[in-house]
Amino acid sequence: MLGAAMTAKDLFITNLTRLIEHSPMSRKQVAARAGVSYSTLSRWLENGVLAPDGRTKKPLQKICRVLHVGLDDLWVEDGGACEAFYPEKVRELYERWERLKADTTELSRMLDGWYNAGRVAARFRCEEPDLAQVVAKVKMLEDDGQVQVYLEGLLREWGLEEEDAYRRLIETTQRFLAAALPEEPELLGQWFIQTHPCRWTCLIEAHRLDHEAELFAYLRHVMAEGLSKHEAYESLLRLSRETPRKKISQPARN
């Protein structure tokens, strides 16, 4: 039981910390699923929140939905919000199935599927923010939380192992993009900058390309050498992922 002398901020920090620790998710995964920035969640866990206000109420409600608790539970003193919610529910399911002498293999597979889907979706949003934004625009999703939920549902349908699911998610999104690639080098370059702002920034920061004119010149060169628009696009994706080296001058052929 929490001590009566604890302040409201202390109660908040203690309750939210324990809730996350007792869930099957990391802090980053909780933030991703709730559509709240990890830096915001970290700040709240470090400094606490006195009470929900106009700025904090909505994101805190999203976090509570992810953790299956009420907003007021973050400030309770009896520790009710800090029960090991997920482990208890999982144990309850397993015990019920064992009493019925049922095979728990399917239950384990289902729980693993949900857990892995959450991990893959969060990783995709973190490592491929440009592609995640494409998903949001195409599916008309309003925030990161909705993107996370949509991706998790898609990944559960696939039922693949974590690495296979991650690769397929990237490939599926890139194939969708490839179908809309412009034919002309300049238009393709503009499309790349607009669709992949993070990758374009990486190319500039790595000093592989200094400005748009160099990007257009590179695309004209590789496409004149025989690369299709899809191959030219894929070469830009590879270059934006590679370790910084000297500026590019020749295309990398498949």
Check the CA dihedral 32-35-39-43 and report its sign.
Answer: negative
3 in a structural domain: no
Looking at 29, 48, 82, which one is the last position of a domain? 82
Farthest-apart Cα atoms in the chain, separation: 75
214 in a structural domain: yes
Give the alpha-carbon dihedral of 36, 146, 118, 57, to 10 degrees. Answer: 30
Domain that holds residue 158: 103-178
- Based on the fold, state whether residues 205 and 165 are members of the same structural domain: no
**Pairwise CA distance, residues 162 & 128, whole Å:** 16
- Based on the fold, state whether residues 190 and 237 are members of the same structural domain: yes
From first to last of its 254 residues, what are the pLDDT tens digits of the chain? Answer: 344 457 889 889 988 988 887 776 788 888 988 899 999 999 999 999 999 998 999 999 999 888 877 888 888 875 554 454 556 667 777 778 878 888 877 777 787 788 888 889 888 988 888 888 888 888 888 877 788 888 988 998 998 888 999 999 999 988 888 777 888 999 999 988 888 888 888 888 876 777 889 999 999 999 999 999 888 988 888 888 765 544 555 444 44
Give the alpha-carbon dihedral of 103, 105, 110, 111, to 10 degrees. Answer: 100
251 in a structural domain: no
Looking at 141, 162, 178, which one is the last position of a domain? 178
248 in a structural domain: no
153 in a structural domain: yes
The number of folded domains in the chain is 3
- Based on the fold, state whether residues 69 and 24 are members of the same structural domain: yes
DSSP 53-71: -TTTHHHHHHHHHHHT--G
